[in-house]
Amino acid sequence: MDLVDAHFPDSNRNAEKMARLAATSYTELGFDSVMPVFSIIQESSALGCDIQWEEKENWPTVRMNQPIWSEPDDIKIPANLLTHPDTKCVLDAIKLLRKEFGDEVAIIGKTMGPWSLGYHGFGVEKFLLMSLDDPGKTKLCLDKMKESTIQFGRAQIDAGADALTLPDHATGDLVSGEYYDRFLRELHIELVEKIPIPLILHICGRTIDRMDYIAQTGMAAFHYDSKNDPAESMEVVDRRISLVGNVNNPETLYAKGPEVVREEIRKNLAAGVQLVGPECAIPLQTSIENLKEIPRAVREWHQEHPSLN
Binding segment for Zn ion among 107-115, 202-210, 244-252, 261-269 (CB under 5 A)?
Answer: 202-210
Judged by beta carbon, residue 8 or residue 82, the one nearer Zn ion is: 8
**Among 35, 89, 96, 204, contact with Zn ion (rule: CB under 5 A):** 204
Q: Binding pattern to Zn ion, positions 269-298, x when CB under 5 A?
A: -----------x------------------
The nearer residue to Zn ion, 20 or 228, going by C-beta atoms, is 228
d(Cα 299, Cα 19) in Å, to the nearest integer? Answer: 26
> In sequence order, what are the beta bridge partners of 242?
221
* Closest CB to Zn ion among residues 36, 205: 205
Binding footprint of Zn ion, residue count (CB under 5 A):
2
The amino acid sitting at 75 is I
For residue 184, the minimal CB distance to Zn ion (Å) is: 15
Please give the Cα distance from 249 to 286 (Å, whole number): 8
How far apart CA 17 and CA 23 sit, in angstroms, is 10
Q: Give the nearer residue to Zn ion in terms of CB position, either 77 or 281.
A: 281
> Judged by CB, which is closer to Zn ion: 95, or 248?
248
Considering the rule CB under 5 A, would residue 170 count as an interface residue with Zn ion?
no
Report in angstroms how near the CB of residue 96 gets to Zn ion at its nearest: 26
Binding site for Zn ion (CB under 5 A): 204, 280
